[in-house]
Amino acid sequence: MDSGGIGQNAHHLSDTNQKRQLKSYSAPKVNKLTPEQAETRLTVHALMGDTGAKTLLRMAKMYQGSIGRKQAK
C-alpha cells in the first residue's frame, strides 16, 4: 500500500524542527541620530529598493523645504 510519501514528509519535518534553534531575545536598541546620519541611512535603504525609505526620504526633503521657506519670510 502506497502512503503517498506522507511518512517520509513527517520524518523530514521532525528533523527540521529538531535542527531549528530558538534565538535568544534581544531588546530593541534606540540610537539618536543627527539629521545627516538619518538622511544617510534612509538613502542607503532607498537605494537598496526599500519603498518605505524612499517615501520617508521624499517626505523629509519636502518638510525641510517648507521649513526653509518659512524661515526666509
| Residue 42 Ramachandran class (φ > 0 left, ψ -120 to 50 alpha, else beta) | alpha
64 in helix, strand or coil? helix
pLDDT of residue 4: 53
Tens of each residue's pLDDT in the chain, 73 residues = 455 555 555 555 555 566 678 889 999 999 999 989 999 999 999 999 999 999 999 998 888 888 776 666 5
pTM reported for the whole predicted model: 0.51
pLDDT of residue 6: 56
pLDDT of residue 66: 81
H or E segment to which residue 52 belongs: helix 51-72
Pseudo-torsion of CA 13, 14, 16, 21, nearest 10°? 140
pLDDT of residue 23: 86
